[in-house]
C-alpha cells in the first residue's frame, strides 16, 4: 500500500494531479482544497495517500494533511457516501468547518456540499458525531476570540474546546448550551468561558 508520495508535479486535471516519482507518474485524486495548495508544474510536492483497492481498480487519493485523509476515511464509513462525495465534502468544507458542523449538528452547513441533501447530511452527522478524528493545530487556526459572527463564533469555540482535549460531541453540546444562555452577539471568547462552565458541571 502507498501511504505517501514525494515527487514533482507533472500535470493537473479537474480533480487529479499526476506526481512524478523517479520517472513513474502516479495519478492522484484530490479535493479542490488540496489541489489548490499544490505548487506549480515541475515543483516538488508531498501528499498523504489513501490507496483505494477494489476488484476492478486501484485508485490513489491524495491529501495535503494527514487529518484530511483521516476525515476522508471516516466519511467513507457513512452509508451512501462514496469516494466522489467524500472528496466533494472536503472540497466544500475545511476539516475545521466539517468538525464544527458535526459537533453543532449543523446539517445546513454539511448540505452545502453538492450531492448531499438534508437526509444524507443528518445521517453523516449522526454517524460521525462520536468518531471525529483529532483536530491538528493547523485545523484550529481559524480560532479568533474577537469573532462577531454568531455561527463563526460557535465554530471557533468548538474548535478551541477540542484543542483543549474535549471530544467533538462534548465541545458541541457545551457550546450549544452556552449559546442558549449567552447574548445573540456573543463572541467566541464568551462561548468558550460558558462552555467550560457547562463541561465542569
Q: What is the pLDDT of residue 144?
A: 35
Same domain, 39 and 71: no
- The span from the CA of 136 to the CA of 7, in Å, is 25
Same domain, 143 and 192: yes
Same domain, 74 and 116: yes
Q: Could you tell me the CATH number of the domain that includes residue 78?
A: 1.10.150.20
pLDDT category at 132 given cuts 50, 70, 90 is low
pLDDT category at 130 given cuts 50, 70, 90 is confident
Q: What is the pLDDT of residue 200?
A: 80
* pLDDT tens-digit map of 47-96: 999 999 888 889 999 999 998 999 999 999 999 899 999 999 999 998 88
- Determine the number of helices (DSSP H) and then strands (DSSP E) in the chain: 9, 5
Whole-model pTM?
A: 0.70
Q: What is the pLDDT of residue 178?
A: 86
Task: Select from 39, 63, 87 the last residue of a domain.
Answer: 63
Q: Could you tell me the CATH number of the domain that includes residue 17?
A: 2.40.50.140
pLDDT category at 172 given cuts 50, 70, 90 is confident
Task: Select from 128, 146, 175 the last residue of a domain.
Answer: 128
Same domain, 19 and 37: yes
Same domain, 189 and 156: yes
Same domain, 70 and 49: no
Q: What is the pLDDT of residue 108?
A: 92
Does residue 141 register a pLDDT over 70?
no
Same domain, 178 and 141: yes
How far is the first Cα of the chain from the last one, in angstroms, to the nearest whole number? 46
Same domain, 110 and 141: no
Asked if residues 161 and 169 have their Cβ atoms less than 8 Å apart, the reply is: no
Count of domains for the chain: 3
Note down the domain range covering 181: 137-200
Same domain, 24 and 72: no
Same domain, 89 and 54: no
Same domain, 71 and 58: no
The set of residues, in sequence order, having a beta carbon less than 8 Å from that of 19 and lying 6+ positions away, is 5, 7, 8, 9, 10, 25, 26, 28, 45, 47, 62
Residue 188 corresponds to which cell in the numbers above?
467566541
Task: Select from 101, 128, 155 the last residue of a domain.
Answer: 128
Strands (E), the chain: 4-12, 16-21, 24-30, 44-54, 57-63
pLDDT category at 201 given cuts 50, 70, 90 is confident
> In this structure, are strands 24-30 and 57-63 parallel, antiparallel, or unpaired?
parallel
At 14, phi and psi to the nearest 5? Answer: -60, -45
Residue 112 has a CB neighbour count (10 Å cut-off) of 14
- The span from the CA of 107 to the CA of 179, in Å, is 18
From residue 6, give the alpha-carbon distance in Å to each of 26, 40, 70, 183: 11, 15, 19, 49
Same domain, 42 and 92: no
Q: What is the pLDDT of residue 175?
A: 85
Amino acid at each position: 500500500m502507498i501511504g505517501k508520495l514525494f515527487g514533482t508535479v507533472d500535470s493537473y486535471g479537474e480533480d487529479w494531479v499526476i506526481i512524478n516519482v523517479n520517472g513513474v507518474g502516479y495519478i492522484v485524486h484530490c479535493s479542490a482544497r488540496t489541489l489548490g495548495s499544490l505548487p506549480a508544474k515541475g515543483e516538488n510536492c508531498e501528499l498523504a495517500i489513501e490507496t483505494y483497492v477494489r476488484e476492478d481498480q486501484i485508485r490513489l487519493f491524495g491529501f495535503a494533511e494527514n487529518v484530511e485523509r483521516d476525515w476522508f476515511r471516516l466519511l467513507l464509513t457513512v452509508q451512501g457516501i462514496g469516494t466522489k462525495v467524500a472528496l466533494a465534502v472536503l472540497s466544500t468544507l475545511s476539516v475545521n468547518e466539517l468538525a464544527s458542523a458535526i459537533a453543532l449538528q449543523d446539517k445546513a452547513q454539511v448540505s452545502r456540499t453538492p450531492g448531499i441533501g438534508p437526509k444524507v447530511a443528518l445521517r453523516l452527522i449522526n454517524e460521525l458525531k462520536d468518531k471525529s478524528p483529532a483536530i491538528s493545530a493547523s485545523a484550529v487556526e481559524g480560532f479568533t476570540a474577537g469573532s462577531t459572527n454568531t455561527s463563526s463564533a460557535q465554530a471557533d469555540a468548538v474548535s478551541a474546546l477540542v484543542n483543549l482535549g474535549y471530544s467533538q460531541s462534548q465541545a458541541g453540546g457545551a457550546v450549544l448550551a452556552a449559546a442558549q444562555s449567552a447574548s445573540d452577539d456573543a463572541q467566541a471568547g464568551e462561548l468558550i468561558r460558558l462552555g467550560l462552565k457547562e463541561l465542569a458541571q
